[in-house]
Amino acid sequence: MLAHIDFQDASRGWGIVVNGNGHIVRTVDGGKTWLNTTPAGVGQIGPSASLFMLDTDHVWALVPGADFYSASLYRTSDGGITWSSNMVPFGGAALQFVDASTGRALADRGAGAGSNAVGLYQTPDAGITWTSVFHNDPTEPGSSDSLPLGGIKNGMVFLNANTGWVTGSLPVAGNVYLYITHDGGISWAQQNIPLPAGYESYLYMAHTPIFFGQEGLLPLTIYLPDSTSLTFYLTHDGGATWTGDPSAPARSIPPGRYSFADALHGWSWDGGSTLYSSSNAGLTWQGEGTNLNISGTLNQIDFTFNGAGSYTGWALTGLDENNHSKLYQTNDGGITWTPLIP
């Protein structure tokens, strides 16, 4: 069943199915039905496969090989009617395209003992050819430590051809693992995130920034002495500076899966009886009860803006012992959920 979803609007979305040999699927009715758009000749599609949707027509699917150091990349520019493919010099990777031609991949080269080697690749031609622009594996020639080997990396995003970020965590008090590049990923520097007094002694996990033009949000998990909380730092200048105050009670919520439909409206949920929503970019959050409890099984939420103040959301559970997942939809901000795949 579905292992991943990505909706562009209330009707159109894409997903990965991992039953059998796996499939790439899309929907045009909000997730009620799914169409098999798997490219011909694809091998096994498992949970390690990844999708990147630039829009409803331009989609890339990365299917890692058995060694995870190579993969097949499939791309479509007509919504899955036709596909082309080629091999790429990396396996499991985070993909992002800033336009129909320019893309990057942050490839995982292995982790252990609090360290994580990665390689960054870029393409100018929609993914046909890739060039290595950075790696931090000291056992390979040309390694750089501007993005340190230490720390577990969890995401990458580029705002444009030159400026991008890599996030993660390092078990050092007061360390917010946010690294920025201004030269397309060739060199990196840690970006300062201001912490309120007393918060220098806590541990942090930074998550991939979310951008809507120059407006952006930096999700930050904070490991407090007796609890864990989630807060969002904000930027209004394309990530040049970030502001936030995790000590303000209104800005911190329990950790959960989160989704922002635009720069102001976001949701966070752990699948339990309370779903949190914000209409001011996370400056304040409101908790409301829901008619659905999937605590412990929630895998992903995704919300889209439909115009005129209307939002549609989806909640996807993880795979159970029978390789089955459940999909739900909401049209009232998460209070009422309707099963699409029960």
pLDDT, tens only, 273-317: 999 999 999 999 999 999 999 999 999 999 999 887 899 999 999
208-246 pLDDT, tens digit per residue, is: 999 999 999 999 999 999 999 999 999 999 999 999 999
Query: Do 148 and 61 share a structural domain?
Result: no
Q: What values do phi and psi take at 200, rounded to 5? A: -70, -15
Domain shared by 332 and 252, yes or no: yes
Q: Which of 25, 57, 91 is the last residue of a domain?
A: 91
Task: Give residue 151's pLDDT band: very low, low, confident or very high (50, 70, 90).
Answer: very high
C-beta neighbour count of 112 within 10 angstroms:
8
3-state secondary structure of 215: strand
Give the model's confidence band at 260: pLDDT under 50 very low, under 70 low, under 90 confident, else very high.
very high
Residue 287 tokens, joined: 């908790």
In sequence order, which residues have a C-beta less than 8 Å from that of residue 196 and are 6 or more positions away? Answer: 245, 246, 247
Q: Are residue 279 and residue 258 in the same domain, yes or no?
A: yes
Least confident span in 69-73, 121-125, 169-173, 179-183: 69-73
Summarize the confidence of residues 45-53 as an average pLDDT: 91
Q: 189 and 77 share a domain? A: no
Average pLDDT, whole number, for the chain?
A: 95
Amino acid at 217: L
Question: Rounded to 5 degrees, what are φ and ψ at 202?
Answer: -100, 165
Residues 67 and 135 reside in one and the same domain: no
Of 145, 146, 118, give the one whose Cα is nearest residue 132.
118
Q: How many Cβ atoms sit within 10 Å of the Cβ of residue 338?
A: 13
313 and 193 assigned to the same domain:
yes
Instruction: Answer yes or no: are the C-beta atoms of 173 and 202 closer than 8 Å.
Output: yes
pLDDT for 192 equals: 96
**Pairing verdict, β 327-330 and 310-317:** antiparallel
Q: Which of 91, 122, 149 is the last residue of a domain?
A: 91
Verify that 129 and 273 share a domain, yes or no: yes
Token pair 């908790």: residue: 287
Tell me: do 27 and 150 sit in the same domain.
Answer: no
pLDDT beyond 80 at 247: yes
Same domain, 26 and 123: no
Q: Is the pLDDT of residue 113 over 90?
A: no
Share of the chain above pLDDT 70, in %: 100
If we measure between CA atoms, which residue out of 196, 238, 198, 248 comes closest to residue 218? 238
**What is the spatial distance between Cα 322 and Cα 101, in angstroms, rounded to a whole number?**
39
Does residue 68 carry a pLDDT above 80? no
Pairwise CA distance, residues 152 & 294, whole Å: 28
Give the number of domains in the chain. 2
Sign of CA dihedral 220, 319, 28, 64: positive
Residues 6+ apart with CB under 8 A from 315: 269, 271, 292, 294, 298, 300, 301, 327, 328, 329, 330, 337
Asked whether residue 143 falls in the same domain as residue 207, the answer is yes
From 46, 67, 91, the end of a domain falls on 91
Q: What is the CATH number of the domain that holds 266?
A: 2.120.10.10
With b for 16 or more beta-carbon neighbours within 10 A and e for fewer, the 244-261 pattern comes to bebeeeebbbbbbbbbbb
| Whether the predicted pLDDT of 48 surpasses 90 | no
DSSP letter at 173?
A: T
Q: What average pLDDT does the segment 87-108 reach?
A: 95
Q: Which amino acid is at 191?
A: Q
Same domain, 29 and 70: yes
User: How much is the pLDDT for 112?
Assistant: 85
In this prediction, residues 43-59 reach a mean pLDDT of 91
CA 172 to chain centre: 24
**Host domain of residue 191:** 94-341
> Does one domain contain both 32 and 125?
no
pLDDT above 90 for 332: yes
Q: In the structure encoding, which two tokens stand for residue 103, read together?
A: 């893309």
User: Which amino acid is it at 335?
Assistant: I
pLDDT of residue 103: 97
- Dihedral (Cα; 78, 80, 82, 88), 10-degree rounding: 100
DSSP string, 101-133: S-EEEEEEEEEETTEEEEEEEEESSTTSS-EEE
Q: What is the pLDDT of residue 314?
A: 98
| Structural contact between residues 3 and 317, judged by C-beta atoms closer than 8 angstroms | no
